[in-house]
Amino acid sequence: MAKNFKLDLIHRPRRLRRTASRRALVEETVLSPADFIAPLFVVDGNGRPEPIASMPGVFRFNLGDLVKECRELLKLGVPAVALFPKLDVKLKDEEGTAALNPEALVLRAVRAVKKAVPEITVITDVALDPYTTHGHDGVLTPDKTDVDNDRTVEILCEMAVMQAEAGVDFVAPSDMMDGRVNAIRRALDASGRTDTAVLAYSAKFASAYYGPFRDAVGSASAAGTHHIDKRTYQLNPANRREALIEACLDEQEGADIIMVKPAGPYLDIIREVRNATNKPVAAYQVSGEYAQICAAARLGWLDLAKCRRESLLAIKRAGADMILTYFAKDQAKELAK
């Protein structure tokens, strides 16, 4: 080969990658703490934060420590939290009746956070899985073979109104029942809570990535298994078009934000939903996604900080406007450096 061999190229894309400053100028996707929603687990009592074994670095907080965590997150620029209660198993039953207790743990948590840190946006889950002995997101049919759609929606509407009255900013139905967004929106409006927004789990798949979350809220131990079969109401991971149908229905029914869950294994769905709606799109980087990155990093197989950042960049690049992630606090700290 000739000593001074040169390709006759007009276009050399590498010119824009030669230096850090050039790369910064042309960077297309930028992460900010304002992109993140931090999922937080809450328990009753005054004990120290309880570590969750399957989610290293994630804890269940009592109300006092929950408030402290929310203050820290807000100082780091994280604008929102999503609250998930872990109940004493003695409070659970087949109907999930504890969800409608006016002094339910999650309602007390909302009141405490909004009183102490009014600037932070608070999101609450609207589903029955933390409250039922069987671990399903709704009440069962008389023969116990499936979740009763319409009877569940009736309960979810009551839950949503109670959460709104406690001061929550967003109610987030995660149950995947048919028609629940419309019913919840109507119930909120009828109760005078027109300012309470709905963040809908619109494309929530029957994923194998939820196991650590079920540990965190106790739905796995209540049901006696991590592998609760929710395929009659959550989406088939094989189906793209069905996910778009669900997202479009939720938009028509009044959802303010459309969410895809999980995030990482469903980047194509996030992009499809982004292209199908002008509504804000959220994505939930779920417990299994978090746990697998942490586990591989602990074994020395991955660089935790780099993989954390890359995974979040991918979700935002796919089209998510906001990301629920257990990495919210650590990633916000890194971005502040």
Determine whether 46 is exposed, middle or buried from the number of CB atoms within 10 Å of its CB (0-12, 13-18, 19+).
exposed
Q: What value, to the nearest 5°, has the Cα angle with vertex 211 and ends 78 and 270?
A: 55
CA distance 175 to 160: 12
Q: Which residues contact 80 (CB under 8 A, 6 or more apart)?
A: 36, 37, 38, 120, 121, 122, 123, 169, 170, 322
SS (H, E, C) 231-257: CCCCECCCCCHHHHHHHHHHHHCCCCE
CA distance 261 to 264: 9
Neighbours of 154 (CB within 10 A): 15
Instruction: Specify the residue for token string 């769905």.
Output: 269
> Catalytic amino acids?
204, 261
